Structure 1
Amino acid sequence: MRSLERHRDVGAYALGVLDEAEAFRFEDHLMECPSCAVQVTEFGPAARQLMLYRSATPRPVHPLAKPGPRMLDRLVSEVAARNRAGRRRLLLALAASVVIAVSAPVAVMAQGGGAGAGRAVSIAATDERSGVWAEVTAEDEAWGSHVELRVKDGAGPRVCHLVVIGRDGSEETVTSWRVDRHDARPNTMRSGSAMHPDQIARYEVRTEQGEHLVTLDPR
């Protein structure tokens, strides 16, 4: 598979329509492509909406029906448009913050860091069965959560995922990585989730085959 085709597969991977071999090859590409990793995260809300649609689909629709290439192209275009709009909003917010800082520095010092703004939540856990240790720090953002994961896993080689489970039962895979053979050094990954910290019930580290390695419960 050529590099350009791997980039184009980000929507199909996020929606779970790649076959097992293609998904495995894309995950190899994902380890080396931060751009695709961010896009997989951004597809989370769209993937959840499609899951909800599938659960509400009438019986006459074939249960194995999959979204076609045109739908995937539209989703990629919509994500790109949202990214451009988000960048414009960020620039406007930065410009406004500069104006406020120049015109009223005393007020900014007194009121800076409003309640809940940038609030970070950290949790660590070790699973006695698997021996895997992990620590997740989630920082609240306007668009969801900035997530940092630190993990120690000496049972490689294998590909693992960090899965965010919402309080509504929805799931979102926010990052993936490959564990080298017998390498227990800590790995650090940074990604993002469409869910805010207070919407997250727990975090789970799983292998690509779905084996549970460790659960991090913020409660």
Structure 2
Amino acid sequence: MSLERHRDVGAYALGVLDEAEAFHFEDHLMECPRCTSHVAEFGPVTRQLMLYRRATPRLVHPAVRPGPRLLDRLLGDVRAHRRARRRRTLFAVAATVVAAVAGPWLTLAAQGGSPEPPARIEATDARSGVWAQVTAEDAASGSRVELKVRDGAGPRTCRLVAVGHDGSEQTVTTWAVHRHEAGETTVEGSAALHPDQIDRYEVRAESGERLVVLDPP
């Protein structure tokens, strides 16, 4: 039954189905996007046949075949309709690609420019021998911070403190140094202060001793 309904597309578009067949075909159209598309493609043909019927003198027999010029126009309209649909599809795809590529840049432009690259500073304290590297990235809530540290004087618990220009202090992250652990430790944390609000970072032992100070440039 489905195959028969597919074959009724042209007859339905040209209006030659009887009332019952047209009713059943319209039920089929509700569930068949392909036939719906084909019916739309018959639109130009149907319009041209209507124009031909109106322009044909009544003395001409109904079975007279249209001349080659009318057939050429009909085929040309169908081809033009197909090309227009392809162009609309290509334009829609191109617009989607442009939006996907340009979207982040438009967002940055609306926010006032490109994001600041992460700031990275490092320092070694000559007295304690502790080396540290801080990478800070601006975020909506403040700063995202990555700390790399080498400290061979464990065991002890340490913390990274962000000191603001106003003297306020915030603990960014904490970690434990094990005995005889001279390798590099990486930890992450965050602060409510933005990078441009931070005066310096301090690595401190649990006792409060400052092990190394990192000053942004």
TM-score by length of structure 1 reads: 0.51
| AA in 2 matched with 1:194 | A
Identity %: 57
Counterpart of 2:178?
A: 180
Aligned with 1:104: secondary structure?
Answer: helix
The 8 Å contact of residues 101 and 108 in structure 1, kept in 2 or not, is answered as: no
Indicate which of 195, 198, 212 corresponds to 1:197: 195
- The CA deviation string for residues 173-210 of structure 1, in whole angstroms up to 9 with x for no partner, is 11111100011100000111101000000000000110
Q: Alpha carbons of 1:101 and 1:169: their partners in 2 closer, same or farther (altered >3 Å)?
A: farther
Which aligned pairs between 1:60-75 and structure 2 lie closer than 5 A? none
Cα distance between partner residues in 2 of 1:113 and 1:202: 28
Give the counterpart letter for 2:131 in structure 1: W
Task: Kindly provide the amino acid, as one letter, of the partner of residue 151 in structure 1.
Answer: V
- State yes or no: 1:164 paired with 2:162: yes
Gaps of 5+ in 2: 1-94
Higher relative contact order (CA 8 A, sep 6+): 1
Give the 3 Å change call, closer, same or farther, for CA 101–141 of structure 1 in structure 2.
Answer: farther
Letter of the aligned partner of 1:184 in structure 2? A
The secondary structure found in structure 2 opposite 1:177 is strand
Relative to 1, partners in 2 of residues 1:156 and 1:197: Cα closer, same or farther, differing over 3 Å? same
Q: Is the 8 A contact 1:160 1:178 kept in 2?
A: yes
Q: Of 115, 118, 121, which residue of structure 2 is paired with 1:120?
A: 118
Structure 1 residue corresponding to 2:212, chosen from 207, 211, 214: 214
Q: Who is 1:107 aligned against?
A: 102
Query: What's the TM-score, normalizing by structure 2?
Result: 0.51
Q: What secondary structure is seen at the aligned counterpart in 2 of 1:154? A: coil
Provide the aligned length of Structure 1 versus Structure 2: 120
Higher alpha-carbon Rg:
2
**After TM superposition, which residue ranges in structure 1, 4 or more long, deviate above 4 angstroms?**
100-103, 109-114
* Deviation of the 1:118 alpha carbon: 5.5
State the distance in 2 between where 1:150 and 1:212 align.
16
1:117 Cα deviation (Å)?
2.3
Computed over aligned residues only, the root mean square deviation of the Cα atoms, in angstroms, reads 2.2
CA–CA separation in structure 1 for the residues paired with 2:215 and 2:102: 38
